[in-house]
């Protein structure tokens, strides 16, 4: 992914690092943005300690992730319920994220919920993505659960309930 990012924009300096041991000096950043990252971090307490260390006074952190409620409401959860069980173990819920951030001297400014409970249109692209296991959580469930979900999805589409 790092080489692909470099190909897209050669004007940005990319640095490979560990979120729990950031290779930057204190007070280095005024803004830190993370999307779909926090569920990969083994020790979010240590990560927030490092973020506080490298963040300038008055700096901001934006973390985009899914709450446990959003995981339950995902369209894929209807067909592949095992994905919700697995992802709720991987993703820290919002309260846990806030607790660890505040424990490390960061202050909550805002929580914005986007798309929760919003109906989505299931089209050809979505179906192809699911059939290719284009969502990482589909690689984490058993093959039996995956095949059951595919059968449920296909029968629902054939009946025209979508």
Domain count, the chain: 1
Q: Is the pLDDT of residue 151 over 90?
A: no
Q: Is the pLDDT of residue 161 over 60?
A: no
Mean pLDDT of the chain: 88
pLDDT at 126: 78
pLDDT at 124: 79
Q: Is 158 within the bounds of a domain?
A: no
| Non-local CB neighbours of 141 within 8 Å, separated by 6+ positions | 80, 82, 83, 86, 149
Full residue range of the structural domain in which residue 125 is found: 18-153
Range 72-85 average pLDDT: 90
**Structure token pair of residue 145:** 């659960």
User: How far apart are alpha carbons 153 and 118 in whole angstroms?
Assistant: 19
Q: Is 6 within the bounds of a domain?
A: no
Identify the band that residue 53 occupies on the pLDDT scale cut at 50, 70 and 90: very high
User: How far apart are alpha carbons 131 and 142 in whole angstroms?
Assistant: 15
Q: Is the pLDDT of residue 28 over 80?
A: yes
DSSP 7-27: HH-TTSPP---BTTB-SS-TT
Q: Is 41 within the bounds of a domain?
A: yes
Q: What are the pLDDT digits (tens) for 80-133? A: 999 999 999 999 999 999 999 999 999 999 988 887 766 666 677 877 888 899
Identify the band that residue 155 occupies on the pLDDT scale cut at 50, 70 and 90: low
Q: Is 68 within the bounds of a domain?
A: yes
Range 20-36 average pLDDT: 95
> CA 45, 55, 107 angle in degrees (round to 5)?
60
Interior/surface letters 8-44, b for 16+ CB within 10 angstroms, e for the rest: eeeeeeeeeeebeebeeeeeeeeebebeeebeebeeb
Q: Is 139 within the bounds of a domain?
A: yes
Q: Which residue has better confidence, 116 or 58?
A: 58
The CATH number linked to 58 is: 3.40.50.150
pLDDT at 154: 62
pLDDT at 76: 85
pLDDT at 117: 64
């Amino acid at each position: 992914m790092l080489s692909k990012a470099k190909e897209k924009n050669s004007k940005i300096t990319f640095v490979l690092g560990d979120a729990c041991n950031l290779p930057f000096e204190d007070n280095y950043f005024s803004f830190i943005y993370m999307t779909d990252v926090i569920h990969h971090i083994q020790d979010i307490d240590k990560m927030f300690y490092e973020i506080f260390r490298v963040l300038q006074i008055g700096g901001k952190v934006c973390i985009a992730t899914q709450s446990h409620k959003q995981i339950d409401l995902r369209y894929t959860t209807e067909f592949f319920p095992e994905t919700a069980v697995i992802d709720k173990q991987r993703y820290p819920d919002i309260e846990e994220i806030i607790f660890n951030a505040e424990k490390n001297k960061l202050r909550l400014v805002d929580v914005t919920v986007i798309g929760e409970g919003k109906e989505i249109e299931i089209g050809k692209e979505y179906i192809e993505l699911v059939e290719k296991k284009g969502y990482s959580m589909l690689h984490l469930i058993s093959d039996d659960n995956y095949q059951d979900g595919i059968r449920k999805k296909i029968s629902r589409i054939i009946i025209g309930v979508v």
